[in-house]
Amino acid sequence: MNDVKSSLIIDLSGKAGAGKTYLKNKLIQTLSPEYKCIDLSDYVFSVKDFMDFFIYKPFLFFSSVAFVFLFIPKKYKDLSVNLRRWVKMQMKIIKGRALDCDFVFIDEGFFRRVSLLRMRSFRKTSFGNTPALFRKTFFYPDMTIFVTADYDLCENRRMGRDRGTGRYAMPGDKREGLVIMEDLKNDIEFAEKTGIVKILRYHNEEEFNTSLITETIKARKKRQNKTKESQWQKSP
């Protein structure tokens, strides 16, 4: 579900350590002098916010529960954690739709969440193979930036970041990690092919590629034109 609105909701997906947060911050830093940017990545929702979501979006809530169950989490604890994180991601997109701004950023994106659900489950279902009813129910960003980088470099960054934080800071199984990235890539390609989300691919190297700024601004202008066209069609 994507409402027509001129603000552009952008999320980022990619392997841990690929540089999603770095790119998000670089985009905000570069765009902010001319555009109003809001970052919802670390937004904290209250208990009331969750209750409102349950009361006013009951179908979306139960679809979220069924979607998380679909992946068959490995641990009971994972079920509650996965559901909370999935609902938070949906709430951020919904909140972004109500904001009066030019760009809304979320650095742990929709398809990154799907990937994390799959990682912690017994059932390795692709997003394209999930029931269409779920796909039609969910809220999506307007654009997903799919961030890639050298696998070993990503692992080094991830371990350096997680060391001392209590998170897993040891090298992961590379073969399994490459399979996870291939599954994420397939989800992204399905979303692009079906027109669910506009996909922008970015390979993160040492120097920031300013073409990302150009493409982001171009996507917003296209969104503005779509809004004006919709308003013109609705006018008497």
- Counts of helices then strands in the chain (DSSP H, E): 9, 5
pLDDT digits (tens, 9 = 90+) for 183-192: 999 999 999 9
Q: Is the pLDDT of residue 231 over 70?
A: no
Report the pLDDT value the prediction gives residue 169, as an integer from 0 to 100. Answer: 54
What's the whole-number mean pLDDT along residues 73-101? 91
Whether residue 96 is contained in a domain is answered as yes
Report the pLDDT value the prediction gives residue 170, as an integer from 0 to 100. Answer: 62
Whether residue 136 is contained in a domain is answered as yes
What's the whole-number mean pLDDT along residues 44-66? 94
CATH assignment at residue 170: 3.40.50.300
| CB environment 78-105: b (16+ within 10 A), e (fewer) | bbeebbeebbbbbbbbbbbbeeeebbbb
Report the pLDDT value the prediction gives residue 108, as an integer from 0 to 100. Answer: 84
Count: domains in the chain: 1
Whether residue 18 is contained in a domain is answered as yes
CA distances from 178 to 109, 110, 217 (A): 19, 20, 32
Q: Is the pLDDT of residue 174 over 90?
A: no
What's the whole-number mean pLDDT along residues 97-116? 93
Non-local (6+) Cβ contacts of 175 within 8 A are none
CA dihedral 84, 86, 92, 93 (to 10 degrees): -160
Confidence at 5, pLDDT banded by 50, 70, 90: low
Task: Look up the domain containing 173 and give its range.
Answer: 8-229
Q: Is the pLDDT of residue 233 over 60?
A: no
Whether residue 3 is contained in a domain is answered as no
Report the pLDDT value the prediction gives residue 1, as an integer from 0 to 100. Answer: 54
Looking at this protein, which amino acid is placed at residue 203?
H
Whether residue 69 is contained in a domain is answered as yes
**Other beta carbons less than 10 A from residue 149's beta carbon:** 18
Report the pLDDT value the prediction gives residue 122, as an integer from 0 to 100. Answer: 85
CA 84 to chain centre: 15
